[in-house]
A and B are shown apart, each in its own frame.
Chain A
Amino acid sequence: MKTHAIIAEFAHPGELLHAAEKVREAGYRTFDCHSPFPIHGMDDAMGLKRSPVGYIVGGMALLGATIGFALQTWVTTQAYPLVISGKPMFSWQTYIIITFALFVLFGAFGAVFGMFRLIRLPRLHHPLFYSEQMKKVTDDGFIVSIEAGDPQFDEEATRAFLASIGGTNIELVRGE
């Protein structure tokens, strides 16, 4: 099994935020900070850019609205033209509600499935799960993981570095 990462635990959200800044300042790039809930200010501390989910939602929502409006226009003017209560064939006012419903529906699909695509989930397994310590993350643990793929990663140096910034229970995680 090859080395996946080194993880270290921190006492509370304040320490984790602080650690994230230190890790980034030390030049590491492929690292993550695990916590039971999102921590305010963590994106800046880790130097992460804003999520592009908003653009996916916007694009999908517009696609949904277009499909909704086009379908209704095609059905009422081409495929099945019927006069209903004397309204014109192309009575766009009555299409608005279904157009809006599909705008929201597709937007929500974009928000959920776009987000899962961006965070590479669902997946059935991950090397980090080989560590028993990671189970604390979903309860009350605050853990930094520096991955072996980071150009600056060095087993001894990284371990010493994590200890120097206050990390405890430092562990080398191996896995595929």
Chain B
Amino acid sequence: MLEEAPLVQGGLTFNGITEKISGIVETRTPSLWWLLFGMALSGTLVLAGSIGWLFYDGTGVWGLNNPVGWGWAIVNFVFWVGIGHAGTLISAILFLLRQRWRTAINRFAEAMTIVAVICAGIFPAIHVGRIWIVYYMFPVPNQMEMWPNFRSPLLWDVFAVGTYFTVSFLFWYVGLVPDLATFRDRAKTKIKRLVFGAMSLGWRGGNRQWKHYELSYLMLAGLATPLVLSVHSVVSTDFATSMIPGWHTTIFPPYFVAGAIFSGFGMVLTLAIIARKVFSLQNLITVDHLEKMNKIILVTGSMVGYAYIMEFFIAWYSGNIFEVFAFINRGFGNYAWAYWIMFLCNVITPQLFWFRKFRRSIPIMFTLSIFVNIGMWFERFVITVTSLSRDFLPSSWDYYSPTTWDVLTFVGSFGLFFSLFLLFLRFLPLISMTEVKGVTPEADPHHYAHGNEHGGAK
């Protein structure tokens, strides 16, 4: 029988795991961190500056034109929300499926989710034009007795993404509590003791606490699972409920969800490969973990590829000339370059992961994960822009290109993403110590039953 490789390698004991993960934040801040954080913070300033200019001068600073009223803002929104989905898939769905390998990567994937959703949330907020009445998005009682339109998918988005952020944050924080208690108990200075003491809420690790904690965590996973599938489905209805050719299709919800998971795993992989190298976590995030993620990328990438091809088939099968035109235009029209970048990065290159050698090669998977990130941004660009720029009558067509401010806002959002993520890496446990200890063979009380008491990992 094939035996699965151990999840934690290198014979780490419980204490060894604590030392390894806590050590990352207890040592002096590496100068590499300061360098990266400085770069990321500059990016955040670029974001703040370009948003400031947008508020001052209006949405005219963007490249929007008459048929293309939705440009990079929605593209970036969908891109960032999609990235978040991998974190919830890892933390909730793989938890329900009892995939114990998730423990090595769930904490920072969840952090990535939260940070990505923050980046995503900026775009719908700033794109409204009259920013001072942005609160109209929420059902706030007001003196005009006006209410938002509950039949609009854009309002569904507000609720879906708001709930998604809140639930992801709670899920992440509940998971952090026992690890924060570890930090509290290891704290050397009074400030750390106070801060981690307050953040760990008085956790004592008694089974009378664990019993409620475990069920609560399971319930959160159960709630987050349908939620994550619904969020990107709701995002897809922003497009699918409209009458624009190329948008008005029923395949959108599942296709968006698969794409979201695909793009998110791309980003998790990019971050995981860098983090395990920088912090020497090869024993905890093993090549087996990375290989499993590559398999998910292969599966979801192929699902996305199926959707791309099926869209063409349905366009032809529908017999609707506008629909047929929209897709021929996508593949061979004025945005064909974007379509083929998307197709290459999302469908063709991930096929290399059929081969075990490529699935286990760090340089190959790092390159491919970058390709996935690029490809999935272009997917949203292709969907949004090709359909709008050539809709029904040629008289209303126009070509859309972004301005410097579009580019700076997007680049700046990466600055914010990495700033927050680097702060997380520096101050919080980036791998769940509790859960990793829990999946070692020594954590099983029956491991010791038959005179098997030799301590340390097998």
Contact = CB atoms under 8 A, between A and B. Distances in A.
Given A14-B445, A16-B445, A39-B443, A112 B207 contact: no
A12 B448 contact: yes
Q: Identify which of A15, A36, A80, A97 gathers the most chain B CB atoms within 10 Å of its CB.
A: A36
Interface stretch (A121-129, A149-157, A163-171): A121-129
A105 B444 contact: no
A3 interface: no
B438 A38 contact: yes
- Chain B interface bracket (under 10, 10 to 19, 20 to 34, 35 or more): 35 or more
A128 B204 contact: yes
What range describes how many residues of A lie at the interface? 35 or more
A100 interface: yes
A106 B18 CA distance: 34
B26 interface: no
A137 interface: yes
A102 B163 CA distance: 7
A119 B57 CA distance: 53
A53 B213 CA distance: 9
B210 A42 contact: yes
A38 B173 CA distance: 17
Nearest to B226: A104
Nearest to A84: B151
Contacts of B341: none
B178 interface: yes
Interface in A119-145: 119, 121-126, 128-129, 134-135, 137-140, 145
B163 A121 contact: no
Contacts of A20: 207
B437 A37 contact: yes
Contacts of A51: 211-212, 214-216
A2 interface: no
B203 interface: yes
A122 B198 CA distance: 8
Interface in B198-243: 198, 201-216, 219-220, 223-224, 226-227, 230, 234, 237
A46 B207 contact: yes
Interface string B410-441: 00000000000000000000000111011000
B201 A35 contact: no
A48 interface: yes
Given A42-B207, A114-B216, A135-B185, A76 B202 contact: no
A18 B202 CA distance: 27
Nearest to A109: B170
A49 to B, nearest CB: 9
A42 B159 CA distance: 40
B365 interface: no
A82 B324 CA distance: 35
B139 A75 contact: yes
Interface in B145-165: 145-147, 149-152, 155-156, 159-160, 162-163
Interface of A: 12-18, 20, 32-43, 46, 48, 50-51, 53-54, 57, 61, 71-72, 75-76, 79-80, 82, 84-85, 87, 91, 94-95, 97-98, 100-102, 104-105, 107-109, 111-112, 114-116, 118-119, 121-126, 128-129, 134-135, 137-140, 145
Given A34-B204, A37-B443, A118-B212, 14 more contacts: A13-B442, A32-B208, A39-B443, A40-B445, A46-B208, A53-B212, A54-B219, A61-B223, A97-B160, A104-B224, A104-B226, A105-B167, A115-B216, A121-B203
14 contacts: A13-B442, A14-B448, A34-B206, A36-B205, A40-B445, A48-B211, A85-B151, A94-B151, A98-B150, A112-B220, A115-B216, A121-B209, A122-B202, A138-B178
Give 5 nearest A-B pairs by CB, closest first.
A14-B448, A122-B201, A140-B14, A115-B216, A32-B206
